[in-house]
Amino acid sequence: MNYSVEVATPGDIREAIEIDNDACLLYEEAGLVFDLTDDHPFAVSERGRWERDASLDRLFFARDESGARVGFAALDRFDGAAYLDQLSVRRSAMRRGAGRFLLRHALAWARANRDPFLWLTTYAHLPWNRPFYESEGFTVVPEAEHGPGVRRDLDDQRRFLPAPEERVAMRAPLAP
């Protein structure tokens, strides 16, 4: 399938949240239930980051051939490098290349901004997470090598998300 990128606006956050909520249903099937209300501090913080990313032209939707928004990538900056704050794809579009398309767009965005790395956090134990990122050049980074921004974000995730012991930070080096 062919996808195109659309830069989101802050007014598009509701759709990004809908996409993420749909994607999270896959995690529930694996036993990870994200039981966060809209007013939960983690959900409020995440929504605020995505709104900021959108206001800075760093939140991107993938549109499929019919023009439907099927996923999004939100990018931030931590510790002097790009950070993939979120990558979510609707379940109806999973395993059709939308996630890889968005990840490669994020990598290209980071390269264009001359970042040394693209960081992200994910679940290490799920077969569709860590191996997917490893296939695109990401490796798990020991905690001693995390900068303060990545460490703070990972700590927040471990405090509020299920299976905190499975959360890891990964990065891909970006050649100039």
Q: What is the pTM of this model?
A: 0.95
Rounded CA separation 142/86 (Å):
21
> Is 80 exceeded by the pLDDT of residue 156?
yes
pLDDT band at 176 (very low <50, low <70, confident <90, very high): low
The CATH number of the domain where 65 resides is what? 3.40.630.30
Per the structure, how many domains does the chain have?
1
DSSP letter (8 states) at residue 39: T
Residue corresponding to tokens 């992200």: 120
In tens, the pLDDT along 111-155 reads 999 999 999 999 999 988 999 999 999 999 999 999 999 999 999
Residue 78's domain comprises 4-173
**Residues 81, 119 contacting (CB under 8 angstroms):** yes
| Radius of gyration of the chain from its Cα atoms, rounded to whole angstroms | 15
Longest dimension (CA), the chain: 45
In tens, the pLDDT along 36-88 reads 888 999 999 999 999 999 999 999 999 999 999 999 999 999 999 999 999 99
